[in-house]
Amino acid sequence: MEELKFRGHKREGRHTDTWDPFQLNPIGAEKEQKRTCFRLAQYLVSAFVGIMVLVSAVISKGTLLVLCTLASPTSMRSPKERQFYILMLVFVLVFPNLLLFLKSLWRCAFKSFVKVNMKTMAGICGVECLVSLGTSVLVLVVMPQFDVLTNLFISGGVCIFSAILQISFRLQRENWKIIFPLCSLILVLTGYFLLGADFYVRVSSYVDYQDSNCYVYVAVGVFSSLLVSLNWWENPVQASNNMQEVLTELEGFRDFVFVISSLLRTIIIGAVYLIWYALIQNTITWDNFNLGDNDSELLQTGLVVFFMQALFSAACHWFGVVACKIHAIKMSFALPLCCTGPSVLFLGLILFLTQAQELDGAKHTSIISFCDSLAGLSQKNSTPVVLLEITRSICRTSLASPYFTWPFSLLALEGACMWLGFLTCTYYVWKIKVQRIERTSQLFVRRLYESCFIDLSLLLNTKMKVVRARNQESPDDNIENCVIYLCATMWHETYDEMLAILTSMFRLDRYRGDPKEEHKDVFDFECHIYVDDSFMVEKETGTKLVNSYVTDLIHVVIEVYRVFTNKEPDDVSILETPYGGRLMFVMPEGNMLYVHLKDKTLIRNKKRWSQIMYLYYLLGWKGYIVKNPQKITRQNNPCRASLISLDGESFLLPQYDNDSKRKHISDDNTYIMALDGDTDFQPKALILLVDRLRMYSNVGAACGRIHPTGMGPMVWYQKFEYAVGHWLQKTAEHVFGSVLCSPGCFSLFRGSALMDDNVLKRYTTTATKASEYVQYDQGEDRWLCTLLLQQGWRVEYNAASDAYTQSPQEFKEFYNQRRRWGPSTLANTLDLLHSGGETVKRNSSISRLYIFYQMFTVGSSILGPASVSLMIAGAFQFVFQIPGTTSILISVIPPIFYMLICFLAKPNVQINIAGIMSVFYAFLMTASFFSIIGDMVKQGTFITPTGLFLVSMAVMYLVTALLHPEEFTMIIYGLMYFICIPSGYLLLTIYSLVNMHIVSWGTRESNKEKEEKKSKATLCDRTCKMCCWDMRCQVIQETENLMLQQVQAAIGQASQGAQGTPGQEVIQMPQEVVLPPKQESHKVAHQLTKRRSSHSKKSKSNKQDSLSDTDSSDSDYSTANKQSSSSMGDDDDDGVSSVMLDDRMENHLEVIPHSDWVDPVKTEFLKKLTYANMKRNLQEQIRYTLRNKNQEDVCEELVMMLTDTVNGELRDRVGPEDILTDSQLEELQYALNEQARRILKTNRMERLERRVKRAVEKTLIAPQVEKLTEGEEDFWNKLIERYLTPITDTQAHKDEVTRELKSLRNKAVFLYFILNVLWVVATFFLQAIGNDVISIKIPKYYPNGTQSEDSLKVEPLSLMFLLSFAVLLLVQFLAMLYHRIYTLIHVVSYRGSEKDYKQRDEEEDEDGLILENQIANGLVITSDDL
């Protein structure tokens, strides 16, 4: 209700100024808020992960202590049992090494292998052997000799070497923090001293099972702990920047080192076990390893404890990694791990106290008598074995001393010292800062965890310093700045589709905020829209104008700007370019929006060429000028191109602000966001893709989850098709290898990947062969990804990055779209498979197994028509009870019939017939669906091949949908997808193959090009010739008499001006003439153009000679009103170049000539200067300018008083829809400035005067007509000449290409036909032979588990196909589970660090001269600038 009232209040405010206060409000224009459910989910996930870390660590540590206690020589277990538990301890040590070996071997075999430096590997393996020796001696030899409490405490000493290295390298930024490792070292040494003292007291006080041999074990235990502490040597060494060359080299072959070291560690573990127990102790009886039926309890206890220790150690490691990645380091990682030791102790005490009565503890008054009573329980089966042995182990401490128990405090102090020493050594974990998404290798030094010391190993393994390269623009040590170019290609989009993409861009502008301010995500961006086929030609006059699509786009920009800011666009520039034209906008927060208007007569049309156009412009040209600023031609007017405005404020125009920042940003951190002209997305979606490229340097592209939008059955089919494709297929590609296609409607590309060899250069190849037309132009996004993969780049998929795009809603449009996609997909996949061997060598993400997986999927797609035909045959068999052979014959007749139709009929007829056949197939599939269910009911079981397949498919899709809660409703469209399978996989495949020779897009085709555009209310259109000048006059309003007078006055002045300078060398005269104040009117548009015979061939040097030193329009820098809002443009406040044709012509004042299309475009933006719009613009401009100054009262007073000033100046002089003239603008600006000055002086806020003046000036500024720099114009001319010249093929070449395409079509159809026929024929003959001869008998089971007397007979071929398809789906399902987990991690980490839409207070010094721009640190102010 409050929202309704707010909108109503805003509408009433607009209604007071105009009779047309109604406006659009696109969905998503409101500010994105942090949703409470997401916050709650974030907290719940963090709490769950923290609990899992604590629980798994406690179980891991507790089960290890249990195994050591059960294997102790002093336990009550038999020698056979102790021998078995010792073996379980060996397995506990080996298990992490086995996991590391398998993972590293996989990476070496299928990912990458770098030549090994033997010297480095020998050193690393030597350290690993020492660590393994210390771990195995400590766990297998020492810990079984100690009691459970000593074993719990002694492990804290493994941090001693890390503390020593921290002290040696002085890793602390603040000097006082060295106290932490010093305290750690002192505490650990104190703990070791207390350990020796405690055992001395035990021996001297005659505690049971304690003799002088324990001193040896204490010494060995301390030494073993020192060896184990060598495990984490790399962490402080890396943080100290020592041995960087060795560590960098090690990264290349670390996987191979892990393979060797894990084997060596396993060998040493086995050697220690055999040497100690077989040679020294001689306690191994080999026959005891043969466990009989009587040893089931022993086997069960040992294996359960072992698996619990091994699995929970791995789980603790994994959940610890997750906790770090979701930004819950303190509460979900450091705190649970630090509390693991005390939690185990506390849990043990609770168990001891609560279960003591079961051990007859309540009958004894002292601990000594209680411990003595435990000896009699060894032969009884009345108590749990584990509890008994742990209790007896506690009784081996000083608590059971017959003389005094105070020495038990030594053990307690030892535990406290060890625990505190461990905490102080790992203090840095509490302060570590991680990025939103981190690689595990960036969080932890070693990939291996120590299962025996899981809590200590995770904390000690956490990197002290996350080392990353950063550029000069990065405000944060942990993140690199990047520049993102959003590039949308448009081709005949509707108004609503344009509204979606523009709204998304303005949302991103609001999310990013002022580009001069720092942002949490550390990025800058520009928006570029490339409009194909932007111009049309009037038949009557031959005038080139923008077409209706461009007009709609301009209206959408104005409308969206008005929705986001409640005012019109402030800074608009219009440029003519070699490829057509360009419109430049400064979005509300200061980011740039460019609209490139392509003329198909000047530059190549269609999407791929638009992509080449912006890739060369943004990566080639802009990258060149920022790396070679000295090559930019100096501007003729240094003051206008300066960075210092006349009011003394330093500034950079927004478009060059980004270019300046890019000087410090590498190509690796320059990203291209490819968009379609109808894509709708949130800023979150883009940032999640940026995270993927920012964190993984080998990722060349990343795509998001594409959601088709629209209404109707075709859209419903596509919704489920897209969902299944993303849920299963894309996730499987991402997990097992690399995504093959990053769709051009929403994909982020890395600049350096696109600039790599054989990528962008090859992407410019013009198709000349039939196969090239199919692969290059029918699916350009897939071909670009193929080029990236072949060069070794990885393409990823992020399921949380959602984008919405219009999908075909008509059957014909859908078939034409897939007619392009199908052959292109097959061609690019076959190209990748053909170069599979070379791609595997170059691309670490693609293995031979992944190539095999793709071969299997390609084979399945090729056999798709035959499989669908056989499925239809089964439907005939189920529904009509037709024999199998007959049903197969009937099922293949419609596809053959449709194939003949496709060869003989026109495409529209083919599509119409396909639509009719699709309806009949849908009825048949519906009947088949219910008949299958009926058959299962009839047989009384679903445990049949068909039934199991159908049920498992349904369950799998249901579970998959549940794991995508925001997309769960997609499951509703599953039935629509099922009944349309014959249309999508049979008829569509035939249509795509047979029509492969048609290379037109078939979607968004305009029915008739609008080449005629009548100007509204045009009364007169004449061209007058006088001397060497041509004048074109258009009268566009109803007051004819006044118009004619104004035209005559203009002609007279033009004649005088021309005669006054007869010998002047001027190439072009101003295109518009503004009359004296009394005769001015916005209702006349004059175009004066000097026509000379040599005009079209005049060189650029002659043009340069005619430029004036005061010319302000030689380059994009000329718009000093942009962003700086300086007062340099007083001569052209209303956007019209006001030139008086008098003696001042001698000063060579030139105004940029322009084409016919410029004036209509300019007129659309001049509407901001109407009386009604101006008042609203002024109010919002003042509020926006003073938004962070904490002067709300002054701001509202300014708004009210300046609005009254506008009303007083204009109310009785102009109508609400009239555009103000130059003189009116000048008078109004003076009045507003004076009024603002008085108000600010009254409120003693003179320091805000410059800001208010700039706000007034931005309100009154009109669109500027500019031109490109000579350097950029030369770039475009050469680019078009080299790559983008419009293709004009001869008829002979077209005929040759058509012939080749038809030949290729025939080959593809023949191949498909033969393979599918072979599959159908094989199935047919198996059916003809009969199930009794060739079949596989499968036992038939009922749902209750009982077996039927009858058995199921299945054909081998059908069963093989069914099983292979089921295996494929199962593999994809498992990949989806893995991908969902890491998507959840990414989303939670994003929600914990996303931006709040809060205005940031600016503390600027408004007094004095600001001569430094913080962005341009190297700025030098010259006398020319001042």
The CA distances from residue 177 to 329, 334, 460, 466, 478, in Å, are 20, 19, 17, 19, 21
Instruction: Spell out the residues 6+ positions from residue 763 whose beta carbon is closer than 8 angstroms to its own.
Output: 608, 611, 612, 615, 783, 784, 787
644 pLDDT higher than 70: no
Q: What confidence tens digit (pLDDT) does each residue in 124-151 have?
A: 999 999 999 999 999 999 999 888 888 9
- Per-residue pLDDT band for 370 (boundaries 50, 70, 90) equals low
Measured between alpha carbons, how far is 850 from 835 in angstroms, rounded to an integer?
Answer: 13
Instruction: Spell out the residues 6+ positions from residue 1258 whose beta carbon is closer than 8 angstroms to its own.
Output: 570, 571, 1121, 1125, 1181
- Per-residue pLDDT band for 423 (boundaries 50, 70, 90) equals very high
- Give residue 235's pLDDT: 85
Assess contact for 1304 and 774: CB atoms under 8 A.
yes
Cβ-in-10-Å burial (0-12, 13-18, 19+) of 523 comes to buried
Show the CA angle centred on residue 1016, arms to residues 1014 and 1019, nearest 5°.
95
675 pLDDT higher than 90: yes
Which has the higher per-residue pLDDT, 927 or 1133? 927
Looking at every residue in the chain, the average pLDDT score rounds to: 78
Measured between alpha carbons, how far is 868 from 1182 in angstroms, rounded to an integer?
Answer: 66
Average pLDDT over residues 678-685: 92
Instruction: Spell out the residues 6+ positions from residue 775 whose beta carbon is closer than 8 angstroms to its own.
Output: 783, 824, 827, 828, 831
Which has the higher per-residue pLDDT, 699 or 1391? 699
- Give residue 927's pLDDT: 84
Alpha helices in 1330-1409 (DSSP H): 1356-1391
Give me 845's structure tokens. 């993400």
Looking at the chain, the whole-number percentage of residues with pLDDT higher than 70 is 75
Q: What confidence tens digit (pLDDT) does each residue in 190-221 have?
A: 999 998 888 888 887 776 666 777 889 999 99
926 pLDDT higher than 70: yes
Instruction: Give the Cβ contact number of residue 727 at 10 Å.
Output: 24
Q: What confidence tens digit (pLDDT) does each residue in 632-641 have?
A: 554 443 333 3
Which has the higher per-residue pLDDT, 1059 or 1317? 1317
Measured between alpha carbons, how far is 735 from 723 in angstroms, rounded to an integer?
Answer: 17
Q: What confidence tens digit (pLDDT) does each residue in 306-322 have?
A: 999 999 999 999 999 98
Average pLDDT over residues 407-430: 89
- Give residue 1295's pLDDT: 87
294 pLDDT higher than 90: no
Looking at the chain, the whole-number percentage of residues with pLDDT higher than 90 is 32
Phi, psi of 800 (to 5 degrees): -90, -5
182 pLDDT higher than 60: yes
Measured between alpha carbons, how far is 1079 from 852 in angstroms, rounded to an integer?
Answer: 79
Residue written as tokens 């009117």?
1081
**DSSP letters for 606-673:** SHHHHHHHHHIIIIIIHHHHHH-GGGSPPPS-TTTTSSB-TTS-B---HHHHHHHHHTTS-GGGEEEE
- Give residue 24's pLDDT: 65
Least confident of 234-238, 542-546, 814-818, 1171-1175: 1171-1175
- Of residues 618, 613, 410, 641, the one with CA closest to residue 530: 613
- Per-residue pLDDT band for 389 (boundaries 50, 70, 90) equals confident
Assess contact for 751 and 690: CB atoms under 8 A.
no
1357 pLDDT higher than 80: no
417 pLDDT higher than 80: yes
Instruction: Spell out the residues 6+ positions from residue 882 whose beta carbon is closer than 8 angstroms to its own.
Output: 876, 890
- Per-residue pLDDT band for 1198 (boundaries 50, 70, 90) equals confident
1403 pLDDT higher than 50: no
Phi, psi of 1026 (to 5 degrees): -140, 120
Q: What confidence tens digit (pLDDT) does each residue in 1240-1267 have?
A: 888 887 778 888 888 888 888 888 888 8
Measured between alpha carbons, how far is 464 from 234 in angstroms, rounded to an integer?
Answer: 10
- Give residue 1412's pLDDT: 38
Give me 1015's structure tokens. 């100007």
Least confident of 624-638, 765-779, 1393-1407: 1393-1407
Least confident of 532-546, 624-638, 1093-1107, 1195-1209: 1093-1107
Q: What letter represents residue 725's amino acid?
A: G
Average pLDDT over residues 967-979: 90
Least confident of 20-29, 1077-1086, 1306-1315: 1077-1086
Measured between alpha carbons, how far is 179 from 968 in angstroms, rounded to an integer?
Answer: 55
Which has the higher per-residue pLDDT, 1044 or 1217? 1217
- Per-residue pLDDT band for 952 (boundaries 50, 70, 90) equals confident
- Give residue 1219's pLDDT: 81
- Give residue 1036's pLDDT: 45
1017 pLDDT higher than 50: no
- Per-residue pLDDT band for 15 (boundaries 50, 70, 90) equals low
- β-strand partners of 1025: 1030
- Per-residue pLDDT band for 903 (boundaries 50, 70, 90) equals very high
